[in-house]
Structure 1
Amino acid sequence: MSKSLEEVHESVSTQNKTSIFRKILAFFGPAYLISVGYMDPGNWATDLAGGSQFGYALIWVLLMSNIMALLLQSLSARLGIVTQRDLAQASRETYSKFINYILYFLAEIAIAACDLAEVLGMAIGLNLLFDISLINGVLITVLDTFLLLFLINKGIRKMEAFIIALVAIIGFSFVFEMIFAQPEVGKIISGLVPSLPNDTALYIAIGIIGATVMPHNLYLHSSLVQTRKFDRSKGGIKQALKYNFIDSTIALNLAFFVNAAILILAAATFHKNGYFEVAEIQDAHQLLAPLLGTKWAPILFAVALIAAGQSSTITGTLAGQIIMEGYLNLRIQPWVRRILTRLIAIVPAVIVISIFGEEVTGKLLILSQVILSLQLGFAIIPLIHFVSDKSKMKGFHISKPTQIAAWIIALIIVSLNAKLVFSEIVGLLESSENPTILWFTVIPLAIGFLLLLLYIVFKPFISKAKPNILNHSPHNLKLKFTTSEVHTKKDIAILVDFSNADEAAINHAFELGGKEAKYSLIHIVETVGAMMYGENIEDCETTIDEKLLKEYEQILSEKGFNVVSILGYGKPGKSIPKIINEGTYDILVMGTHGHTGLSDLLFGTTVDKLRHQIFIPLFIVKN
């Protein structure tokens, strides 16, 4: 399995720092990229709706969500630091293909909902500040892809600096908004006492939880912490966990300040003046100047919204890449991945605005956050199981009190979601003219997802799951061989990957060397562990590959060929040239899967890298 966010994996060294401050600073950064997901435009919609309808009453929901977020993000960071797997990769190794495809589908829905909110939010900000139409604003967000490529090519630290600058813009904007609004401190404090005035408040509260504790952030954080290179000893891992927790605490408290500021602004400005139905960001922007008596309030509001949309679209696109690669192990070129991820957000946004008009964007933003909340259970529950697993976490599993706290959070979120879904289904059945259709569509789907959730919750307690190691290609030992009378080579290297391409490569090698030549079968183990520890790695996939390579060697030796097997570790583009250039081979033979043109753009090729790095002929056999 490839590394998570391979372009920037372990690209920031935390070692050899001259002071404690510099060492802490080296770890700081990933949580700030996470924090923008907690202050994205979807949060604005739910916070504005909550503040305008219920005043300060739902501040406690924001505080509770922030505490939940801090615990869950620390678990996500722990998974990435200890196992060197992101949440999607860990799921792929644990569950069956069928379950993984469903989890991937749900994660993509969450990404689409999240991106829809971010794209719409940024488009609204551009519309408010520069009078650009929403459709054109949405299309402009395509440029985020190229900005992301530029930033990530400059290094993860440059990207972190850019995001932190945007977060600072958001923070300073709301400091001034608070000065303009002059909220009532006593009511803010009373808002910290839990209360839910009615069912509408519950709907908005669930939206706030969905907007705050975001499933894509759990995938993203478990990947971003792997951009730090640190000592992999027990002490080094402990230190990385501590510094990342501090990083998360600071960043998420900043996000809490922004969310609370939006809700307080809505309460002090709209609710106080009798505007109880301000859920549209455009309406909030329009009302700020007359209600607060300053033209700077709406300008700062729009600037902060653009900064929030821009920062969250970048991190959302990264999360989409992590989910696609982790669940599907789909190795396609970075720019293609990001264009696909961005289109998943832009296409629904354009369709929605074209069909329903610009006036429904507020309701859509809140709906997107409720969808995110509904998907949370399918990300949180596997995460809790993974970080509680002693063998998977190599002694760094979470304690019993932390497990209890995590399960309480999962129970709260899943229970709120279940109540919401039940209420919505009952409402649909009562209002529908033809409820039979619902009984055969919506209800079976809801039951199916409930059963999937129960399966994910209870399976690890019932039976200890065996690792589901999936190689990048099928293992196939049914080889057929032919020989020729003309032989020109004496020492031949053959690349094998246990796919159908092996048969063609081996046969062509035999035609070149016959039974007089010496053959070296070379296979590269590409797991993250292999890349880290080389020949010292001991994992299931390495064991399987070593066994299969030995079986190849035995089959060919029994047919009278002089064969040895060589197992390499890490990236093929680096490991293969090293093996070849250290040997005395006459030729290297490798099979291909025959993809060209667009497929080469998508998947890239090992061939191109090899041709320029080895000093012997390369024989390419097309399967």
Structure 2
Amino acid sequence: MGKSLEEVHESVSTQNKKSGFRKILAFLGPAYLISVGYMDPGNWATDLAGGSQFGYTLLWVLLMSNIMALLLQSLSARLGIVTQRDLAQASRETYSPFVNYILYFLAEIAIAACDLAEVLGMAIGLNLLFGLPLIEGVLITVLDTFLLLFLINKGMRKMEAFIIALVAIIGFSFVFEMIFAQPEVDKVFAGLIPSLPNEAALYIAISIIGATVMPHNLYLHSSLVQTRKFDRSKAGIKQALKYNLIDSTIALNLAFFVNAAILILAAATFHKNGYFEVAEIQDAHQFLEPLLGNKWAPILFAVALIAAGQSSTVTGTLAGQIIMEGYLNLRIQPWVRRIITRLIAIVPAVLVIWIYGESVTGKLLIFSQVILSLQLGFAIIPLIHFVSDKTKMNGFHIGKWTKIASWIIAATIVSLNAKLVYDEITGWMEASENPTWIWLTVVPTAFGFLFLLLFIVFKPFFTKSKTEFQNHSPHNLALKFSKTGTYSKKNIAISVDFSSSDEAAINNAFELGGNEAKYTLIHIVETVGAMVYGENIKDHETTIDEKLLEEYKIMLTQEGYKVETQLGFGAPDKVIPAIVNAGNFDILVMGTHGHTGFKDLIFGTTVDKLRHKISIPLFIVNK
């Protein structure tokens, strides 16, 4: 089983910190990457729409959403810390392949919807600051595909620092916006009392929930917490859970402040002055200066919008990689993954803007958040089941009251979504001259997803829990050995990846060195976590790979060979040369997978990249 974010898995050490404050600081970081998803451009659109149409009335929805988010993110962190699996990996090891493919498809839709909001937000920000047409701005957002690749090579702490800097820009911008707007404090507090003026308010409320409690953040958080290396004793895990809760509380309350500030700004400026239909971010920007009488208000608004879009796009990329690797056990090159995700968002954005004009971007942003909300149940319900399971959580399962609160949240979100879907389908039927196509397509699809949701809800209650997650690892240790050879090499490095190519590589190495040579088996953990956090990562895949390497060593030692092992972390074409050049090896033996052309583009060409970086001969073996 692969490690989640293998590139950075356990790359931030929390051990040997002398003071409690320094230990807390070592754990702080993952939740700030999560928090940017709670203040992305999609949130801006829903908050502006809510504030301009209903004044301060929907502030309670933001507060409720923040409480929901805090509980759900703490469950996600608990899953990652205790089981060393992210939510996608846990799902793949629990459900059948058919169910997992559907869950993966839904998760990808959520990622695309989220990325659509980020694309539009960045394009709008560039348009407001520099006058760039929206379509050109959307196309330019392809370039930030490579920002994550740059940041991930700089290490996790630098990435976190970059994100926190962007969050700080957003926060300070809205501190000044609040000073300019001077909201009515009594109405702000009144807005914290639950009420829904009409059906339109329900639609906005659901989109606010979808924008605030984001499904991809549940996948991301369960992975990012595994980037901290800590004592795996009971006391160490308890401490990690406590510090991550502190991290989440601080970060998500900052996100709540930003969202509340946007809604309050819209209420204090647009709603107060009779502008009830300001759902477009461009309109909000345009009206700020005349309504507030300050030229800095629209500039700070646009700068904060760009910071929100850019920070969200980084974390969205990581979430997409986690979901693909977790559900499909498929790892492709990060830049390919990023471009695919970005294109899925850019194509519909360009088409809609081209056909309907720039005036529909606000509606498109809100619609993207409703899609996120619809997908929430398929992420929340498995998460609650996983963290409630005593055996899988090794005694760190959630308590009775936490479980009740979690199910209330899940029931609330699913019920609101069910009403929204019912109302939408009913509206389509009434407006359609021939509703037959709706009965043949939309209705069966809705019932299909309802059945899947009910299956996920009730299956664990009727199926006995396994003592642990299944391991669907593709690794194969059934090797056959040959001992004939010329025996000319004394110190041989062998790159292994626990695939069928290992057998050919190991046997060819034996032919070179025989029983007299010393062999070093090198395996590289190459998840996103390992790339960012390096050797400090300690997730499930690292643990499994360590065990598999040890099994190789035992198996080969029993055959009479002298074997050592070395585990590396990150991109193989960089880490293998570093290990080889640092050691006193005579030759490096590698097996190949035999794919060429398009597959090389997707999966990478490790051999071609590393052969120029090593100072010893490279022996390539085709399986």
TM-score, structure 1 length as denominator?
0.86
Change (3 A) 1:563 1:437: farther
TM-aligned CA deviation for residue 3 of structure 1: 2.3
TM-aligned CA deviation for residue 426 of structure 1: 1.2
C-alpha contact (below 8 Å) 2:521/2:549 kept by paired residues: no
Q: Is 2:149 the partner of 1:149? A: yes
Which whole-Å CA distance do the structure 1 matches of 2:495 and 2:168 have between them?
A: 52
C-alpha contact (below 8 Å) 1:521/1:563 kept by paired residues: no
Where do 1:441-460 residues align within 5 Å? 441-460=441-460
Aligned pairs, number = 609
Q: Is 2:100 the partner of 1:111? A: no
Aligned to 1:472: 474
C-alpha contact (below 8 Å) 1:94/1:465 kept by paired residues: no
Which whole-Å CA distance do the structure 1 matches of 2:143 and 2:394 have between them?
A: 42
TM-aligned CA deviation for residue 497 of structure 1: 7.1
TM-aligned CA deviation for residue 461 of structure 1: 1.3
TM-aligned CA deviation for residue 451 of structure 1: 0.9
Aligned to 2:310: 310
Which whole-Å CA distance do the structure 2 matches of 1:139 and 1:112 have between them?
A: 16
Where do 1:434-583 residues align within 5 Å? 434-466=434-466, 467-472=469-474, 488=486, 501=501, 570=567
Q: Which moved more, 1:376-385 or 1:168-177?
A: 168-177
TM-aligned CA deviation for residue 49 of structure 1: 0.9
Which whole-Å CA distance do the structure 2 matches of 1:3 and 1:62 have between them?
A: 34
TM-aligned CA deviation for residue 549 of structure 1: 11
Q: Which moved more, 1:87-96 or 1:407-416?
A: 87-96
TM-aligned CA deviation for residue 565 of structure 1: 12
Where do 1:21-40 residues align within 5 Å? 21-40=21-40
C-alpha contact (below 8 Å) 2:10/2:536 kept by paired residues: no
Which whole-Å CA distance do the structure 2 matches of 1:462 and 1:56 have between them?
A: 45
C-alpha contact (below 8 Å) 1:522/1:565 kept by paired residues: no
TM-aligned CA deviation for residue 346 of structure 1: 2.5
Q: Which amino acid aligns with 1:28?
A: L
C-alpha contact (below 8 Å) 1:490/1:517 kept by paired residues: no
1:472 aligned counterpart, secondary structure: coil
C-alpha contact (below 8 Å) 2:518/2:563 kept by paired residues: no
TM-aligned CA deviation for residue 292 of structure 1: 1.9
1:94 aligned counterpart, secondary structure: coil
Which whole-Å CA distance do the structure 2 matches of 1:430 and 1:145 have between them?
A: 43
Which whole-Å CA distance do the structure 2 matches of 1:219 and 1:303 have between them?
A: 29
Which whole-Å CA distance do the structure 2 matches of 1:533 and 1:301 have between them?
A: 38
Which whole-Å CA distance do the structure 2 matches of 1:166 and 1:292 have between them?
A: 25
Which whole-Å CA distance do the structure 1 matches of 2:499 and 2:312 have between them?
A: 40
C-alpha contact (below 8 Å) 2:553/2:565 kept by paired residues: no
1:283 aligned counterpart, secondary structure: helix
Aligned to 2:286: 286
Aligned to 2:134: 134
Where do 1:197-212 residues align within 5 Å? 197-212=197-212
C-alpha contact (below 8 Å) 1:577/1:610 kept by paired residues: no
2:275 aligned counterpart, secondary structure: coil
Which whole-Å CA distance do the structure 2 matches of 1:582 and 1:92 have between them?
A: 38
Change (3 A) 1:522 1:31: closer
Which whole-Å CA distance do the structure 1 matches of 2:215 and 2:56 have between them?
A: 26
Aligned to 1:161: 161
Which whole-Å CA distance do the structure 1 matches of 2:222 and 2:100 have between them?
A: 18
Q: Deviations over 1:415-473 (max 9, x none)?
A: 10011111111111222112111111111111111111111111111113554422236
Q: Which moved more, 1:42-51 or 1:83-92?
A: 83-92
Aligned to 1:399: 399
Aligned to 2:384: 384
Q: Deviations over 1:493-522 (max 9, x none)?
A: 9988786657867997999999x9999998
Which whole-Å CA distance do the structure 2 matches of 1:333 and 1:539 have between them?
A: 23
Aligned to 1:239: 239
Which whole-Å CA distance do the structure 2 matches of 1:128 and 1:613 have between them?
A: 46
C-alpha contact (below 8 Å) 1:469/1:540 kept by paired residues: no
2:621 aligned counterpart, secondary structure: strand
Change (3 A) 1:439 1:521: farther
Change (3 A) 1:602 1:291: same
TM-aligned CA deviation for residue 622 of structure 1: 2.0
Q: Is 2:184 the partner of 1:184? A: yes
Aligned to 1:431: 431
Structure 2 spans left out of the alignment, 5+ residues? none
C-alpha contact (below 8 Å) 2:475/2:498 kept by paired residues: yes
Q: Which amino acid aligns with 2:151?
A: L
Change (3 A) 1:582 1:44: closer
Change (3 A) 1:208 1:496: closer
Where do 1:36-55 residues align within 5 Å? 36-55=36-55
Aligned to 1:262: 262
Q: Which moved more, 1:164-173 or 1:444-453?
A: 164-173
C-alpha contact (below 8 Å) 1:289/1:297 kept by paired residues: yes
1:142 aligned counterpart, secondary structure: helix
Structure 1 spans left out of the alignment, 5+ residues? none
C-alpha contact (below 8 Å) 1:490/1:513 kept by paired residues: yes
Aligned to 1:100: 100
Which whole-Å CA distance do the structure 1 matches of 2:124 and 2:59 have between them?
A: 25
Q: Is 2:301 the partner of 1:301? A: yes
Change (3 A) 1:318 1:381: same
Q: Deviations over 1:517-536 (max 9, x none)?
A: 999998979799999999x9
1:441 aligned counterpart, secondary structure: helix
Choose 1 or 2 for highest CA Rg.
Answer: 1
> Relative CO higher for 1 or 2, CA cutoff 8 Å, sep ≥ 6?
2
Q: Which moved more, 1:10-19 or 1:372-381?
A: 10-19
